[in-house]
Amino acid sequence: MARLRRFLAFWYDFVVGDDWRVAVAVVVALAVTFGVSQAGVASWWILPVAVVLVLPLSVWRVARKR
Protein backbone atom coordinates (compact mmCIF):
# COMPACT_ATOMS: atom_id res chain seq x y z
CA MET A 1 0.00 0.00 0.00
CA ALA A 2 2.80 2.39 0.94
CA ARG A 3 4.61 1.52 -2.31
CA LEU A 4 1.46 2.21 -4.35
CA ARG A 5 1.04 5.52 -2.57
CA ARG A 6 4.68 6.45 -3.31
CA PHE A 7 4.23 5.36 -6.94
CA LEU A 8 1.10 7.50 -7.36
CA ALA A 9 2.71 10.43 -5.53
CA PHE A 10 5.69 10.25 -7.91
CA TRP A 11 3.47 10.40 -11.02
CA TYR A 12 1.32 13.16 -9.51
CA ASP A 13 4.45 15.21 -8.86
CA PHE A 14 5.85 14.36 -12.29
CA VAL A 15 2.74 15.36 -14.27
CA VAL A 16 0.93 17.91 -12.10
CA GLY A 17 3.93 19.48 -10.31
CA ASP A 18 3.98 22.23 -7.71
CA ASP A 19 0.70 23.95 -8.56
CA TRP A 20 -2.30 21.70 -9.22
CA ARG A 21 -4.38 24.72 -10.23
CA VAL A 22 -2.34 25.01 -13.44
CA ALA A 23 -3.24 21.44 -14.47
CA VAL A 24 -6.93 22.00 -13.63
CA ALA A 25 -6.97 25.27 -15.62
CA VAL A 26 -5.44 23.52 -18.66
CA VAL A 27 -8.06 20.75 -18.54
CA VAL A 28 -10.90 23.30 -18.21
CA ALA A 29 -9.48 25.42 -21.06
CA LEU A 30 -9.23 22.35 -23.32
CA ALA A 31 -12.85 21.41 -22.51
CA VAL A 32 -14.02 24.99 -23.28
CA THR A 33 -12.03 24.94 -26.55
CA PHE A 34 -13.71 21.68 -27.51
CA GLY A 35 -17.19 23.01 -26.65
CA VAL A 36 -16.71 26.30 -28.51
CA SER A 37 -15.24 24.60 -31.60
CA GLN A 38 -18.18 22.15 -31.65
CA ALA A 39 -20.50 25.16 -31.81
CA GLY A 40 -18.74 26.24 -34.99
CA VAL A 41 -17.12 29.32 -33.42
CA ALA A 42 -13.38 30.13 -33.66
CA SER A 43 -11.71 28.70 -30.53
CA TRP A 44 -7.93 28.93 -31.19
CA TRP A 45 -7.61 31.93 -28.84
CA ILE A 46 -8.88 30.12 -25.69
CA LEU A 47 -5.65 28.31 -24.67
CA PRO A 48 -3.45 31.42 -25.21
CA VAL A 49 -5.86 33.41 -23.00
CA ALA A 50 -5.70 30.61 -20.40
CA VAL A 51 -1.88 30.84 -20.37
CA VAL A 52 -2.03 34.65 -20.03
CA LEU A 53 -4.30 34.25 -16.97
CA VAL A 54 -2.84 31.13 -15.32
CA LEU A 55 0.91 31.79 -15.43
CA PRO A 56 0.83 35.22 -13.70
CA LEU A 57 -1.65 33.95 -11.09
CA SER A 58 0.54 30.94 -10.32
CA VAL A 59 3.77 32.96 -9.93
CA TRP A 60 1.92 35.70 -8.05
CA ARG A 61 0.88 33.16 -5.39
CA VAL A 62 4.60 32.56 -4.74
CA ALA A 63 5.54 36.25 -4.90
CA ARG A 64 2.80 37.19 -2.42
CA LYS A 65 4.24 34.85 0.22
CA ARG A 66 7.61 36.67 0.11
Partner 1 sequence: MNGGALFLAVFLACAVEAVEALTIVLAAGTARDWRSAGAGVVSAVAALVVLVAVLGPALSAVPLGGLRLIVGGLLLVFGLQWLRKAVLRASGLKALHDETAAFGKELAAAEAAPRERKGGVRDWYAFTLSFKGVFLEGLEVAFIVVTFGSNQHAVPLAAVAALAAIAVVVVTGFAVRAPLARVPENSLKFVVGVMLTAFGVYWGSEGAGAVWPGSDAALLGIVPAVALFALGLVAVLKQITAPRTVPARVEEA
The binding site for partner 1 (CB under 8 A) comprises 14-19, 22-23, 26-27, 30-31, 33-34, 37-38, 42-44, 46-48, 51-52, 54-56, 58-59, 62-63, 66
Give ∠ CA 17-21-24 in degrees, rounded to 5: 100
Q: What is the CA radius of gyration of the chain?
A: 16
Give the nearest distance from C-beta 65 to partner 1 in angstroms. 9
Give the nearest distance from C-beta 4 to partner 1 in angstroms. 19
Cβ pair 54, 22 in contact under 8 A: yes
Give the nearest distance from C-beta 57 to partner 1 in angstroms. 10
Query: Looking at this protein, which amino acid is placed at residue 8?
Result: L
